[in-house]
Amino acid sequence: MVELSGRTVFAGEATADLLVLDAPLSFWGGTDSGGTIVDGHHPQRGVSLTGRVVALPSARGSSSSSSVLAEQIRAGTGPAALVLTEPDAILMLGAWVAAELYGLRLPIVVLTAAEHRLLCARSGPVTVLAGPERATITA
């Protein structure tokens, strides 16, 4: 078991199986409403994000990703948590909108590149506790 400490981008809690993405992802055009990766160039095309703690190196653009993410959270097809190596305002906005409009929280955490690699080497269930100051990830 490993315990990692990160920076909270958006507070919340989640426990779910880990899904490691090998490349950045845009939710707009890169995922469908069911939470499946549909980007034809993404190495994990066809994989579902739904209910998973998703570790990805970073997001990949489109300001509309926030609305796609918020809608996936509302529909119950979004990830359980996001773990990145750099903060992303677009994803944070999607999580914030889902929390404000629907009362549903998607924790978003940033780890250092070294800690992110440690997490990505794991599999199975992961617990994300993202408080207002710091986040703890147990895998």
Architecture of domain 3-138: 3-Layer(bba) Sandwich (3.50)
Query: Domain-by-domain residue ranges, the chain?
Result: 3-138
Structure tokens at 121: 């080497």
pLDDT tens digits along 42-85: 999 999 999 999 999 999 878 899 999 999 999 999 999 999 99
Q: Which residues are catalytic?
A: 62
Region class of 62: left (phi > 0), else alpha (psi between -120 and 50), else beta: left
Rounded distance, CA 112 to CA 90, Å?
20
Q: pLDDT-derived band of residue 40, with 50, 70 and 90 as boundaries?
A: very high
**Token pair listed for 36:** 């499946």
Q: How many CA atoms lie within 13 A of 108 on its CB side?
A: 26
When pLDDT is cut at 50, 70 and 90, the band that residue 35 belongs to is very high
